[in-house]
Amino acid sequence: MAAVAWGTAFAAYAALGGAEATVQADSQQMNATQRVLRPGPYVVHEMQAPSGTVVRQYVSPQGIVFGVAWQGPTMPDLRQLLGPYFERYVDAVAQRKARGPVFIEQPGFVVHSGGHMRGFAGRAYIPDAFPDGVSAESVK
């Protein structure tokens, strides 16, 4: 499980709870192709690394990353993705007694993550930061 928590397949994303302004630099650092989607009252920055892993950053109208999601053959750098929430994630994972998928649901912070070699997926979000009319199901 430590390998999943400390995955470093590629680094540098706008961190959960952070500002949208860093997304472009993050995309360049991971040598990713990037698309910007506007599916509702928020923006999704979708980046695909050369490895095939896709990272989506969900940004509110106020320019704050309220959710992140990942899927692909390599695990993203969760320290960078989760930013100030990473230590809470590590502490919650350390307290688990079971192996397998991670489901952390704390006040103000949610992470669902799982997978296997060459098949990882997960999402993390700040429930209180969702724009009006947006639900957790939007972060995927």
Average pLDDT over residues 64-80: 92
Question: Exposed/middle/buried for 88, CB within 10 Å: 0-12, 13-18, 19+?
Answer: middle
- Tell me the pTM: 0.86
The per-residue pLDDT for range 19-48, each reduced to its tens digit, is: 988 777 667 767 889 999 999 899 999 999
| The predicted structure's pLDDT at residue 7 | 38
